[in-house]
Amino acid sequence: MSHPNLPITEVLVVADCWQSEPDAEAVIQRAVAAAAESVDEDVADAEVAVMLTDDAGIRTLNSNWRGMDKPTNVLSFPALQPEGEWKRGDAPRMLGDIAIAFETMRREADEEHKPFEHHLSHLAVHGFLHLIGYDHENDGDAEEMEALETEILAHLGIPDPYADRAGTH
């Protein structure tokens, strides 16, 4: 049975390196669904696009949008929301885009001795939460976001990703 609060999640694979992880799309779909079910935000009939890229692709995005000329693991680009209330029958409301870089994500998972699928789930949840307004610019916001990520991941059977890094984000 489908949950009424789930957004449409489109996964686009734009880098060949992701071919080594054929379950990546299913992992992302499951993670975004778990996040949507765990928040109060109304994301029903909304759409999220997740781009699976490589370090070169995410480095370009990071440089162009954040002025940081280096790869990163995940970037989120919340969509501007139209004015007025969304009504049934309108086009899907875009929540925004998430980009995840294969090499950086793989390296982090290996260094932290985490299964690839667990780290991918974490990054998908993290990116989704950014799309709906969560942030980690200050300690209080970071603690709130990390606690929610940990709760969502626990529903997926994934251990606390911050357990080994107490106090960091």
Annotated binding site for Zn(2+): 126, 130, 136
Q: Which two tokens stand for residue 24?
A: 């990546």
Q: Which residues are annotated as a binding site?
A: 126, 130, 136
For CA atoms 101, 104, 110, 113, the dihedral sign is negative
Q: What is the DSSP letter of 39?
A: S
84-111 per-residue burial string, b: 16 or more CB within 10 A, e: under 16: eeeeeeeeebbbbbbbbbbbbbbebbee
